[in-house]
Amino acid sequence: MQNFSFYSPTFFEFGKDSETKAGELVKRFGGSKVLIHYGGGSVVRSGLLYRVKKSLEKEGIDYVELGGVKPNPRSGLVYEGIDLCKKENVDFVLAVGGGSTIDSSKAIAAGVVYNGDFWDFYMGKRIEEALPVGTILTIAAAGSEGSPDSVITKEEGMFKRGATGDAIRPKFSILNPALTQTLPPYQTAAGITDIMAHLHERYLTNTKEVEVTDRLIEALLLTMVHEGPRVIEDPNNYEARANIMWAGMMAHNNCVGVGRSQDWNSHDIEHELSALYDCAHGAGLAVTMPAVFKYVYKHDVMRFAKLAVRVWGCQMDFDNPESTALAGIACLENYLRSIGMPLSFKELGAKEEDIPKLVESLCYGNGRDGNIYGFVTLNKDDCEKIYKLMVR
Ligand code: NZQ
Ligand code: ZN
């Protein structure tokens, strides 16, 4: 195991009606003038935004609002949010929505206190300072409610890139699984896929002897395998949603990723798809993950075979471990198909003729050096071959 530091100070309020604590929590974490940031309207239609405002008013907390965050959030609204916060002397950013809203809130929070262009952080500068952020989560997916990360798309060039820093870890996150019951099934499934991707990208490591985190990741994957179909069959299954919601947080606050190298090639390759086609990130991952895994599994056949046996219940073939590894990848594909996810370029709405553009942006866009680095270092040719595996 590698040496590591782990700092995850987010306060979690989990369960039914927990959003009624929003005002109390903002006050506890020092907010007196709040930016309420939200997406395209689901929180207005569900009445959540109204309840949150009431909770702030009850505590005498002043607020301004900025809605309109799009899935795959854009830099334009971040600049707008930064200006608004400066003009209104906002001292706390409250995200009400999914990963996109949370990421946009984190970008605003970092940008307000930074004397430069917030995009510097998405070019690799670490975020050291930010306004405090709180979240009220409405979809189990990105894990941004417990992560130090934010992913934004820059409209000029449509570069989708991530920034990181403990300063943007939420001070608190409110997780009420019942709030996710209004999700369309496709978004629920995309969220499940994203959570499973976060687990796979940590499982694919080159670090030896990491049994504790291997076992934790396997447990979370087994939970997703069990709960995913239950929630697709019955969207009102609170208990299944509760298990998925907490698994989603644990999958990405890095408690199961410490002390080991991680992958993230599938995420990098997917981000080009959601940047170009504006597809759901999880749906893009359903197409990307199996292609990447089929391309790289020979790098460590036994790691894939172990996953196949422990998570998917495949029989280990010691004479031919490659067949076990491939059987596990096939199980993942079947699972993704069963919850309604796409598996090919065609099903996602992506086009084969765009592959050169995707590869160019992935390998050279926004300052990249021609490779992407993870479980396996992939160059331009590798990435082209991986995108081609998705055309079927
Ligand atoms: O915008 P509204 O109207 O709220 O609708 C949203 C949106 O259309 C809808 N939705 C959310 N909760 C709902 C709901 N509809 C009905 N009822 C509810 N309860 O769902 C759609 C998707 O929302 P979005 O916030 O985009 O989903 P998600 O949480 O999957 O976030 C995706 C973004 O997170 C990034 C992705 O790249 C993508 O941009 N990621 C962020 C990470 C992080 N910060 O740590 C890590 C991830 O790997 C990921 O890259
Ligand atoms: Zn993700």
Tokens representing 50 are: 């109204």
Same-domain check for residues 231 and 352 = yes
Residue 59 lies in a domain: yes
Q: Is residue 2 part of a domain?
A: no
Mark whether 95 and 77 lie in a shared domain: yes
pLDDT in tens, 212-251: 999 999 999 999 999 999 999 999 999 999 999 999 999 9
Please give the pLDDT value at position 35: 98
Alpha-carbon distance values, 254 to 143, 201, 249, 265 (Å) = 10, 11, 9, 17
Q: Indicate if 25 and 166 belong to the same structural domain.
A: yes
Q: Are residues 149 and 231 in the same domain?
A: no
pLDDT of 154: 95
Note whether 145 and 107 are same-domain residues.
yes
Of 167, 152, 12, nearest to 79 (Cα)?
152
Report the separation in Å between the CA atom of 71 and the middle of ligand 1, taken as the mean of its atom positions. 6
- Return the ligand 1 atom nearest residue 147 CA: 45
- Mean pLDDT by runs of 10 across the 392 residues of the chain is 96 98 98 98 97 98 98 97 98 98 98 98 97 98 98 92 96 98 98 98 98 98 98 98 98 98 98 96 98 98 98 98 98 98 98 98 92 98 98 93
In the structure, ligand 2 is a single-atom ion and the residues with CB under 5 Å from it are 194
Minimum CA distance residue for ligand 1 atom 26: 71
The domain boundary, picked from 138, 161, 179, lies at 179
| Threshold 0.95, pTM exceeds | yes
Which residues' Cβ are closer than 6 Å to ligand 1? 39-43, 71-72, 97-101, 103, 138-139, 141-144, 147, 149-151, 179-180, 182-183, 187, 191, 194, 252, 267, 281-282
Q: Are residues 24 and 155 in the same domain?
A: yes
Q: Which of 42, 52, 69, 106 to mutate to test the pocket of ligand 1 (most atoms within 8 A of CB)?
A: 42
Same-domain pairing of 238 and 375: yes
Looking at all shown ligands, the one closest to residue 141's CA atom is: 1
pLDDT of residue 347: 98
Within this chain, do residues 147 and 230 fall inside the same structural domain, yes or no? no
Q: Is 1 part of a structural domain of the chain?
A: no
Predicted confidence at residue 366, as pLDDT, reads: 82
CA 189, CA 229: separation in Å to the nearest integer?
9
One domain for residues 65 and 172: yes
Closest residue by CA, ligand 1 atom 29: 99
Model pLDDT, residue 367: 85
Quote the Cα angle for 353-122-341, to 5°. Answer: 45
* Cα separation, 294 vs 287, whole angstroms: 12
Distance 276 CA to ligand 1 centre (A): 17
Domain shared by 30 and 110, yes or no = yes
| Domains held by the chain: number | 2
Q: Is residue 308 part of a domain?
A: yes
Q: Which domain holds residue 135?
A: 11-179
Q: For the domain that residue 39 is a member of, what is the CATH number? A: 3.40.50.1970
Last residue of a domain, one of 179, 204, 221: 179
Query: Which residues have a Cβ under 8 Å from the Cβ of 137 and sit 6 or more positions away?
Result: 97, 98, 102, 145, 173, 174, 175, 176, 179, 245
Report the SS3 class of residue 137. Answer: strand
